[in-house]
Structure 1
């Protein structure tokens, strides 16, 4: 029997296609309302939505040249002071628009008179009503507890916001938008590699000591992959940046461990060098999810063919989502209703 989680992962190409059609015109205008001026951004979220924030924050800096930070909602609430300018934009990300700690963070910062935006899958939710600017991620109802298609939609919405801000600086964004228009077909190709992904999941499911590594934008994707396996398989999986992993954390490895590494062109040389050291000194099983065909550094290599970072982000994410979903089935767990978890976290 096909799980709801798998069904929702397989809906992601359609979700992406609909979002592009809804928000981007044929002449490359992005139909999203934004403040006239933005000089810094703070993104606040929890759970998978926080991983969206952590993926997006460095992209705002890289592509839109706007300082951007991300914070866990629960930590944000505890801070007594926040950095605010007249042109600050605080973005709150929540699938339901009702997540209690994110909603409380929004209510708190609203008292400071800050411009606020929400990215949510629930129109007319509490966050939708409170925010000055709002984006409907429009992923359709997500029934599985473990978020997949809603997260993909949140990341895409974040990218559209940063591209609109980039365009405000008179930068040409047509190439980036064309990359996103090709994203649905790219994700269909990731789906077509299901057999290889399932074989990989069978291997990963035999281990209790699992580490997922990624650099820069791929570190929060590694964290999301770890979260998905935790939620669906009840295994203690850890995620690390490549370089940081070598500072002590690597000591947890042995022949009964497995490492999943996310590799793209920017970090390929650095990643392969570290994986070689890891293999020589600890001999764990290694799985590489790579957009670089020449990289064959793993015992298992999954090739997510693309030279575009914006596509590789989604390709590596979908691959990890499918690995987690397949692992749950192999381990006879129900990925749609993990024990003790709810779709909306409230007080």
Structure 2
């Protein structure tokens, strides 16, 4: 999410910053800006939209200097605008900051700073940082930054400059990536390797809780407490394209591996400090409104619709309120029963999906409160909705959605828990129990990704087939619908997902000798029934691979040909884990068939026409 570039040296700083930001465009952004030390002092240029807009501004008034910072912003706090763009300054415009991540306690810090006389011009959490640094400055920018971050909670990668010390550039990492580039008589910072690859291949990678002080001739590394540290320099031998993919072969694989971070980012700032409750400080949906709701409609397309199937089941379980899922392209045309007591939740990765936007407007026309779950804060859907829960997955480049889907699941779980708190449908102990399990999900996904070779081997087995079936019951059925869609999207293998209990009502006719069937078996309350359904397809010659918890593998191998295990969590949360091997299955099957994984035929990332 977002891109950071910083430079100190004798080159044309503006050129270094702009070229570096261009190398980070693949990360996605909605505005861009730079701050440069010039003979006239610290000067800033920024603009909403593409980098070309910023370049146009700079054509007549270039910023010429020896040090600077640049940023491409992906909106989280405040809609995309020139004012909300980075870099941000303090009221004296002597300090400038670029920031990736989220300051969780920015509201309380902002209120404190306003009481002390500091004036804010943007809606961002980042502007708080520039004012904090200015407040704490007593002649040493390093100490001022250290004091400022001691007040902050959350995730941040920072680049900080002050006009008072133009020979220094300060960088900080806390739960958001940042690297240092080492040159001859010049040094760099970047949120990702491609930003600096044209200038140097020698880097330091900052760890969480570390900072760096850069001058033209030296780089000092230290902890945020001020203890100096040494670090082995790394020499990068990637080409530019490989660097943009973080060393992965494809964006889709990179984005699958980014899911643990996306989980953490989507939860960050929405769980109380003691872990006992969910908080949504910016939600306009009042507690009174939540208590008055009579029904919920979840409306989306494709992968977002599949996320809504899981989300709807979770909300029904937690909140005990009727939930109806609708494909957005059908929603308007069935004359849905919408009243002012209906909450309509629209889900879209891009926030520009035409059918979902039309459904949103239909809901508004009928008096419903509309809440959007989207990955793009400044999108059309986000602007038109009454409320927005941003998923904070960061930009997705691959057409086939992975981390956006799972981040949407996290958003649904959080919303369901929040509504359960308000309506009193779950005890405080149960809510805290679910939250604790959610906080373990990132590590559990990481453990699965370490065992991807087992999925790869099975994917290569099925790559030669033209037909395949998925089966599951309960939440497993919702998840295999997403698994089937992924496989179709990028491998072009015809696959269908069936509710396992429905097989005997017609679809068993499609099972023939040797056809692959993938059975998801993670819901203990229907485990025995699912095993019976597996035996039905086995009896007709299917080759069955089961995905289940480790504790069930031995017993299932009596009924299936192969089995993969996933970590154990609460049944309601299992979709956030069980979908990962299905994503990998689609990826490796497409790879084995020689397909363009990131750009499948006939498909677009954002569907902006009906």
Question: What is the TM-score with the length of structure 1 in the denominator?
Answer: 0.96
Matches within 5 A, 1:21-170: 21-27=268-274, 28-32=276-280, 33=283, 34-36=285-287, 37=290, 38-80=293-335, 82-170=336-424
Unaligned runs of 5+ in 2: 1-247
296-305 or 119-128: bigger deviation: 296-305
Shift of 1:216: 1.5
34-43 or 128-137: bigger deviation: 34-43
Distance 2:463 2:263 in 1: 30
Q: 2:18 is matched with which residue?
A: none
Shift of 1:292: 5.3
Unaligned runs of 5+ in 1: none
Aligned length: 345
Shift of 1:17: 1.2
Distance 1:146 1:42 in 2: 25
Distance 1:193 1:308 in 2: 21
57-66 or 32-41: bigger deviation: 32-41
Say which one has the larger Rg. 2
Q: CA RMSD in A?
A: 1.3
> Which residue, 318, 321, 336 being the options, matches 2:583?
321
Contact preservation (8 Å) 1:40, 1:87: yes
Matches within 5 A, 1:167-316: 167-170=421-424, 171-172=427-428, 173-264=431-522, 265-280=524-539, 282-291=540-549, 293-294=551-552, 295-296=556-557, 297-316=559-578
Following superposition, which runs of at least 4 residues in structure 1 exceed 6 angstroms of deviation? Answer: none
Matched, 1:7 2:261: no
Distance 1:138 1:60 in 2: 21
Contact preservation (8 Å) 2:338, 2:363: no
Contact preservation (8 Å) 1:213, 1:259: yes
Helix, strand or coil at the partner of 2:345:
strand
264-273 or 91-100: bigger deviation: 264-273
Looking at secondary structure, tell me which structure has more helix per residue: 1
Shift of 1:331: 0.6
Contact preservation (8 Å) 1:233, 1:328: yes
Counterparts in 2 of 1:292 and 1:85: CA distance versus 1, 3 Å: farther
Shift of 1:167: 1.1
Shift of 1:169: 2.8
Deviations 1:245-279 (A, max 9, x none): 22110111112311000002122101111212221
Helix, strand or coil at the partner of 2:443:
helix
Helix, strand or coil at the partner of 1:42:
strand
Q: 2:152 is matched with which residue?
A: none
Shift of 1:29: 3.4
Q: 2:604 is matched with which residue?
A: 342
288-297 or 150-159: bigger deviation: 288-297
Determine which structure has greater relative contact order: mean sequence separation of CA pairs < 8 Å that are 6+ residues apart, divided by chain length: 1
Shift of 1:188: 0.7
Looking at secondary structure, tell me which structure has more strand per residue: 2
Shift of 1:175: 0.3
